[in-house]
Chain A
Amino acid sequence: MIDGSPFLLVLVPFGMLFGVVGTEAGLNLAQVMGFTALVIAGAAQFATVQLLVDDAPTIIAILTGLAVNVRMAMYSASLAPYLGNAPLWKRALAGYLMVDQVFALTVPKYEAEPELTINQRYRYYFGTMVLVAPAWYAATLFGAVLGQTIPPEYALDFALPITFLALVAPALKTLAHVAAAVTSVIVALALASLPFNIGLLIAAFAAMIVGARVELALQGRAAS
């Protein structure tokens, strides 16, 4: 629980921002809270709402949101060796609560303390979320209520791009990440005129391949 608390500094403003942006975009309170409670994945929620605002077809909005969340499958694969041997309800609850922050805390902990029993692992896993999950819901609710009172001249249209940039910037850890990001930008802009925002999905696909190729090339050079 204590290890999870620093994340409140990020999640509370972020949740509030989703509440504000969602409301400004035209979602009602129930819909904003529906996103937050059912999805609990900030970046994907923002991405989906943005595409709905752009009047992209609903299916494209869903696919793009899911594309942002594909990394969760990677988390699931990394956690399975530590948490896989437990009752279904526990694994399902762990799945529901699997967010970036939990992953960032638990895997290093499990690696460092291999003597932990599976019950201790689950206790730690849920413990990290005891504060974080309710805070995330509450912050979104607060933001959504607040959003209804903010007039449009405050340039909130740009809250979303700024949030995304702030999320992506720290993720540009290696040359491969930078190459993937640059590819994504170039292809998305070049294909911006394609219908149904399909250019973004093509751009994301191309960028993943470029990232993976650059990583391999760098490894090859380091090895030789």
Chain B
Amino acid sequence: MSQSSTEIWMAIAALGLGTFLLRFSFLGILGKRELPDWVLRHLRYTPVAVLPGLIAPLVLWPAATDGQPDPARLLAAGVTLLIGVLTHNAVIAICSGAATLYSALYLLG
């Protein structure tokens, strides 16, 4: 991280304000106006549209191994995803992934 403290605070303030405006939007300003179906249909997919694209490079090319794919991290990612899909429980998935990562790092050296 090479940003100055001011830049980081700017990011925090902008994200905080922007998020508040998104939350306040209809409740505060636009009132009871309904969003058209096509807008809602796209908004439904924002979390699954942003996060996977953010994760993929981190999983395939971890900075900790200088961008080389790492078997222990790939395995841990696979287990987390699988357990998350099966259990629908984020905490169990995180614990399984962490356990896999540490076991694999230990076993594979």
Contacts and interface: CB of A to CB of B under 8 A. Distances in A.
B47 A171 contact: yes
B58 to A, nearest CB: 4
A16 to B, nearest CB: 11
A117 interface: no
B21 to A, nearest CB: 8
A162 B57 contact: no
A211 B44 contact: yes
A208 B98 contact: no
Given A13-B91, A70-B22, A80-B27, A164 B8 contact: no
B26 A211 contact: no
Interface string B42-66: 1111111111111111111011100
Interface string B1-24: 111010111111111111110111
Which of B55, B59, B62 has most chain A Cβ within 10 Å?
Answer: B55
A76 B17 CA distance: 15
Q: Contact residue range for chain A?
A: 35 or more
A167 B90 contact: yes
Interface string A80-114: 11011000100110111010000000000000000
B24 A62 contact: no
A158 B45 contact: no
A204 B53 contact: yes
B50 A155 contact: no
B101 to A, nearest CB: 6
Nearest to A45: B15
Q: Is the interface of A mostly helix, strand, loop or mixed?
A: helix
A170 B63 contact: no
Contacts of A75: 23
Majority secondary structure, B binding face:
helix
Given A50-B58, A168-B84, A83 B12 contact: no
Interface string A185-196: 101110010000
B48 A84 contact: no
Interface of B: 1-3, 5, 7-20, 22-28, 30-32, 34-35, 38, 40-60, 62-64, 73, 76-77, 80-85, 87-91, 93-94, 97-98, 101-102, 105
Given A67-B50, A168-B51, A200-B54, 12 more contacts: A28-B5, A47-B54, A72-B19, A158-B62, A165-B77, A169-B80, A169-B83, A169-B88, A170-B89, A188-B52, A188-B56, A189-B60
24 contacts: A10-B91, A55-B2, A62-B15, A69-B19, A71-B43, A72-B23, A73-B43, A77-B34, A95-B24, A158-B64, A162-B76, A164-B55, A165-B80, A166-B83, A166-B94, A172-B48, A181-B48, A184-B52, A187-B53, A188-B53, A204-B49, A204-B53, A207-B48, A211-B44
Interface of A: 9-10, 13-14, 17, 25-28, 31, 34-35, 38-41, 43-45, 47-48, 50, 52-53, 55, 58, 61-62, 64-77, 79-81, 83-84, 88, 91-92, 94-96, 98, 155, 157-172, 176-177, 180-185, 187-189, 192, 199-200, 203-209, 211-212, 215-216
